[in-house]
Amino acid sequence: MSDRFILFNDEQIDAQQIMMLTDLAKLLLEDPNVKVSFQKFQHYDPINNICNVSFNWLHRPEHIIEAGLKSDIMLDTIGFKQLSPNIYKEVLNESFEHMHFFKQVFMMIEEYRLSNHIIQARPVTKKLFKHRLQVKIKQNNSQIQVYKTKTTYTDLLFLTIEHAILHENFITYQSVHDKFDDALIQVFNRLPQIFNLNSSEDSYNLSVSIMILLDHLLIEDMLNQYYHLPERIYESFDVEWTLDDIKRHDKTNSSQSSKTEHDENDIITENAETKTADTQSDSDHYLEMELHEGENSDVLTDNEREGDASDDMTNMMEKKGKGSKNTIDDEEGGSQGNNNPYKLKGINQNVKLTFNKPDYSLSDEEDYKQAVESVQFEIKDLTSIIQKSMNHQYSDIRENLTKGRLQKNLLNWFIDDQYKLFFKKDAFSRKLDATFTLLIDASASMHDKMDETKKGVVLFHETLKNLDIKHEILSFSEDAFDADKWNQPNTIDELIVYNESTLNRHDARIMTLEPQDDNRDGVALRIATNHLLKRPETQKFLIVFSDGEPSAFDYAEDGIIDTHEAVIEADKQGINVFNVFLNQGSIDERTRNTVHNIYGKQSLFVEGVENLPNQLSPLLKTLLLQSI
């Protein structure tokens, strides 16, 4: 499909942007497992290890977007290390009459303190926070004009205090209302304390002193929300997480434990009620993920069900019309099955793997023969080119021998009486020291591409078999019907296994390729990488056939990042990863950029899958020649 993008409240999120922010967060938190998510308000979620940045920075000039998002990450990481969760919890336990006002005053003062700390610790960030400040000043001026026309004064009072802090001007101010003027003078006398804030406790004490002056004067609480205190996160401090958990940087363990002790949605859907001007809204303002039309599954996954002890993967595979074998023997004779060695974690920690060798029929064997005939010229051409290249490798000639072949030029014998007239020529061809894994997206969106994809796979398989190059062909899918937050069943179909790949055995399994449900690409890439690392060959290639972005249960945006990370992990271990992107029509520039963001420049775009065999041949030829 050509137009599958992740949407957040109808926003198209740039995958490269998310990856850049994720890399920055990992660097600053010194944690390789941290994730980045777009939310209404910026905050760090230590329980789920997510840096949340605000989508309010979008739809602005590029330099403002970059400054806003990067400064959010700075506050989530450097800033988070400088705050005191126990003080935040104390703020929540206060008993002022107008708590919404109090919490926002505290968070406004804290953001000022943390921003200045970051600038002092890292002067290079000064420009970023300068742009952030300019946007906040502009928003503040606009909101002040709005609330000057209202008969409610709480928001205007807050905005007046914010105006003074943003401009660091505590001498002049505009009157809000006669009844607030005397108290506001005293508030402004206290505000210079922000220059000497060293801790969250200092921010708390200043906020309390302001509330003592104003709380009894307020008639109603604030209508709008400008700063956000994620209450459920800090209410759970000392119960579900502590600072020691964060400093330990053992995110896998903390993620596992928190997963069993609480519902993840309790944290992710942190209630951030807000109202635009004085218009009330009861809906959550956090972004909800959805897929563009033409998404990677025709099966709805909104209806979750709890896992049941009677669930059996065999039944699921039989439901799909496949021969199934839940537990298989690996090459060493050990059982893989669901006790997998892949150490999946983070967003994939609840993936349940099943390896399956599909049964095939006589009709599949006939179909395979026809597929071979349809690409026979490409197979012969590729095989011939590679063999010729191998046969033209260098020759080693040894001369001045006492026996062997008599050389034609005898001049050296007359010149040097010690010279011998015979030579030997040891000509040889180096065998290709390479192995391949072909990984095929078997999600529902492949239904209109699968027939041509099979031809490409046959071309791949027959060429490597002719050249006696061992390889593996796998397809992958996730069961969208049975996937829920506790269990995501993923199936790896082993179409061609490594040790049988150069034999004329079970070739027809390729023809059992059928579109299933969803695709969790990052998991499949890690499995293929794990298999390739066990191979003795020097050159290792992983080719991924796909038609879009990852799409599986609770994967979406994180799936792009997870897949990108899997590609990086494979590359670091010496595996060359290539993506073959399949599409029936033309591929737009944004789709190309997204694929490049995931796989880098090693991507082949096929417009019209009927062209796949023709376009796959040059790629395979390049990789094979590279291996000689």
For residue 487, list its beta bridge partners: 484
CA atoms within 13 A on the CB side of 267: 24
What proportion of the chain, given as a percentage, has pLDDT over 70? Answer: 74
- Range 24-52 average pLDDT: 91
Give the pair of three-digit tokens for residue 621.
């030829």
Q: Is residue 131's pLDDT more than 60?
A: yes
Q: What are phi and psi of 321, to 5 degrees?
A: 80, 30
In this predicted structure, the answer to whether residue 285 has a pLDDT above a threshold of 60 is no
Q: Average the pLDDT over 363-391 and give the result.
A: 83
Pick the more confident residue, 408 or 178: 178
- What value does the mean pLDDT take over residues 49-64? 91
Count CB neighbours of 300 within 10 A: 8
Only one residue has tokens 């919404």, namely: 100
608: left (phi over 0), alpha (psi -120 to 50) or beta: left
Higher pLDDT, 561 or 251: 561
How far is 233 from 272, CA to CA, in rounded Å?
A: 12
Given this model, what pLDDT does residue 73 score? 95
Residue of 151 and 300 predicted with greater confidence? 151
Which segment, 219-233, 428-442, 582-596, is predicted with the most confidence on average?
219-233
User: pLDDT, tens digit, for every residue of 384-398?
Assistant: 877 776 655 444 456
pLDDT tens sequence across 98-109: 999 999 999 999
Does residue 522 sit in helix, strand or coil? helix
The pLDDT value recorded for residue 70 is 94
pLDDT tier for residue 456 given thresholds of 50, 70 and 90: confident
Q: Lowest-confidence range among 176-180, 397-401, 451-455, 617-621?
A: 397-401
325 has pLDDT over 70: no
Q: State the pLDDT at residue 138.
A: 93
The arithmetic mean of pLDDT across residues 115-138, rounded, is 94
Q: What pLDDT score was predicted for residue 538? A: 87
Instruction: Provide the pairing of β-strand 575-583 with 603-607.
Output: parallel
Find the range with the poorest average confidence among 84-88, 408-412, 450-454, 563-567.
408-412
Distance CA 542, CA 566 (A): 12
**Rounded Cα distance, 545 and 453, in Å:** 8
pLDDT at 418: 60
Q: How much is the pLDDT for 321?
A: 37
Please check whether residue 316 is in contact with residue 489, taking contact to mean a CB–CB distance below 8 angstroms.
yes
| CA dist 306 → 317, 489, 563 (Å) | 19, 13, 27
Say how many CA atoms lie within 13 Å of 380 toward its Cβ: 6
- Give 474-530 pLDDT, tens digit per residue: 999 999 888 998 999 999 999 999 999 988 889 999 999 998 989 899 999 999 999
The residues with which 398 forms a beta bridge, in sequence order, are 424
For residue 473, the model assigns a pLDDT of: 95
Q: Which two tokens stand for residue 412?
A: 């050296």
Of the given ranges (157-161, 230-234, 286-290, 311-315), which has the lowest mean pLDDT?
286-290
**All domains of the chain, ordered by start, with CATH?**
15-236 (no CATH), 362-370+432-627 (3.40.50.410)
* pLDDT tens digits along 294-323: 333 333 333 333 333 333 333 333 333 344
Residue 254: is its pLDDT beyond 80?
no
From its phi and psi, is residue 468 left (phi > 0), alpha (psi between -120 and 50) or beta? left
Output phi, psi for 399, to 5 deg.
-110, 180
3-state secondary structure 91-134: HHCCCCCCHHHHHHHHHHHHHHHHHHHHHHHCHHHHHHHHHHHH
Burial of 28 (0-12, 13-18, 19+ CB in 10 A): buried
The pTM score is 0.54
The proportion of the chain whose per-residue pLDDT surpasses 90, expressed as a percent, equals 38
**Rounded average pLDDT over 318-330:** 39
Residue 368: pLDDT band (50, 70, 90) is: very high
